[in-house]
Amino acid sequence: MAHRFLASTPLLRTSLSLTARARAAVPAQYANYVTASAVVMAGGKAKKAAPKIKAQSNSFRKKKGADDDKGESGSGGATRLNEKYYKPSVPVKVEEFLPSTATKEHVGQVLGFPSTVVPALAQTAYPTLLSEQFELIKPAALVVRDSTVSFLEKVDKAMKTPSAQSRIVLTGEAGSGKSALLLQTVSHCLSAGWIVIYVPKATTWMNSSFAYNKVANTTSFVQPLLASNLVGQIQNVNKSILDKITTSETATVGRHEVEKGTKLSALLEVGVKDQFAAQDVMELFMKEIGAQKDIPTLVAVDEVNSLFRPTQYLSQDGKELDPEHLKLSKLFLNYISGKSTFKHGAIVAATSDTLLANKSEVLEVTLGVKEVSPYKRLSQTILPWTQGLTSVEVPNYTREEAKGVFDYYKKANIFFDAASEPLFLNKFITSNGNPRKFFTACAKGI
């Protein structure tokens, strides 16, 4: 948003202080007494200190329009933006991003998430920096890129193959559109009727923000509340599809017995209600959806680099736990590394450069993104989990894609200069086509 602040108020005229004036008016021997004149002058000064009408510069007035004078000054509340000075963006009408519209003809067009998909995505929350963009410009929409089209073709091919053969990690520089591409994949698969397990922030699993308990006689730890939350999210995202699949045999989850033929949505309900059974529910659920061939499964994990470095949890000895010691993370790592597989499905993950502390050197070296000295010893406990991953690099915008996004930003009214070729070139070249930098250049003028 173009943040425009009010021009600075003119400085108040420096005047004699109250005491100076009092001293001038009153004889020396009465200098310490409170005189009537002092009281009157104090009252006068208070009136003078009342807020002056702030001068507004002309350029602001022109852009805001006629209703400026009518409107009251912005409502209180520290978090709400003052409507007088911050203009909200205009919602833009966009077509839906469907499997039929994610084609080469639509490259450069900004398409919104379909109405069937939006409630599902609302369950899991968007990635952090993308959500800021979506807050600004409603409805949430992403541009169709060349990389989107080619990647979705790849994912569609994976529909009929085991997930162990399609374990892809999206890599690229910071702000190049990895999380956005992952979101588009999730939307595509939801529209196509896959079972989708979307984890927008894997970092929250590892940063010691959820309670954890040791499992007796093992070196593993369970995160009951986290597992329960995840089970609830999966249930809400895939409600209708999960009614079609049933369990293949009787099983025990925690303190509950699950009979053969229970619908998977009912199984997940057990995990939602009893957080201490949630881990077992999750494991059984993944086994069941992996065993059936009718409906493919997509596991989409963002910020996957946090799964390949030591967590912030501590073992009872005070040492940092590895992700394989946390049962939920280990479950996902099994599928990501190919140790467990869905009969039909794909695993897509995206790295994140958001926090430098969360970077995983092991992952970057194995994917070939980074080179380190051969003498550097990589973690031997984490290295085996990174074998067999394919890396797909997400490039910066091409000119065509950037043009489409630029037109969209103009329609959404997040910048007020006239949309011209020189302006577009300015933004495109200064940001080098990097999507995040391009957005910042357009929205904040930097």
In 123-244, at which residue ranges do the beta strands (DSSP E only) sit?
A: 141-143, 167-171, 195-199, 213-214, 221-222
* Cβ closest to another protein, residue 260 vs residue 319: 319
Q: What is the dihedral of CA 178, 184, 189, 191, to 10 degrees?
A: 170
* Cβ closest to another protein, residue 203 vs residue 396: 203
* Cβ closest to another protein, residue 325 vs residue 436: 325
Asked whether 408 and 141 are in contact (CB, 8 A), the reply is yes
Q: How far apart are CA 446 and CA 439, in angstroms?
A: 10
Distance in Å, CB of 70 to another protein, minimum? 44
Q: How far apart are CA 68 and CA 65, in angstroms?
A: 6
* Cβ closest to another protein, residue 224 vs residue 271: 224
* Cβ closest to another protein, residue 77 vs residue 318: 318
Q: Residue 218: left if φ>0, alpha if ψ -120 to 50, beta else—which one?
A: beta
Contacts by residues 155-162 (CB-CB < 8 Å, ≥ 24 positions apart): 155/185, 155/188, 155/189, 155/298, 155/346, 155/348, 156/99, 156/192, 158/296, 158/345, 158/346, 159/194, 159/296, 159/344, 159/345, 159/346, 160/296, 160/344, 161/344, 162/341, 162/342, 162/343, 162/344, 162/345
* Cβ closest to another protein, residue 212 vs residue 438: 212
Distance in Å, CB of 253 to another protein, minimum? 22
* Cβ closest to another protein, residue 178 vs residue 325: 325
Indicate the DSSP class of residue 93.
P
Distance in Å, CB of 200 to another protein, minimum? 19
Q: How many CA atoms, within 13 angstroms, populate the side-chain half-sphere of residue 370?
A: 14
Distance in Å, CB of 213 to another protein, minimum? 6
Distance in Å, CB of 126 to another protein, minimum? 22
Q: What are the residues binding another protein (CB under 8 A)?
A: 208-214, 221, 312-318
* Cβ closest to another protein, residue 210 vs residue 342: 210
CA distances from 124 to 235, 296, 341, 402 (A): 11, 20, 23, 28
Q: How far apart are CA 128 and CA 16, in angstroms?
A: 53
Cis peptide leading into residue 119 (ω within 30°) = no
Distance in Å, CB of 207 to another protein, minimum? 8
Residue 342 burial (CB < 10 Å; 0-12/13-18/19+)?
Answer: buried
Distance in Å, CB of 77 to another protein, minimum? 23
Residue of 398, 412, 374 whose CA lies nearest to 134? 412
Distance in Å, CB of 212 to another protein, minimum? 6
**DSSP letters spanning 120-131:** HHHHH---HHHH
Distance in Å, CB of 307 to another protein, minimum? 18
How distant is the alpha carbon of residue 60 from its chain centre? Answer: 33
* Cβ closest to another protein, residue 10 vs residue 318: 318
Distance in Å, CB of 268 to another protein, minimum? 24
Q: Provide the residue type at 52 as one letter.
A: K
Indicate the DSSP class of residue 276.
T
Distance in Å, CB of 210 to another protein, minimum? 6
* Cβ closest to another protein, residue 36 vs residue 216: 216
* Cβ closest to another protein, residue 204 vs residue 236: 204
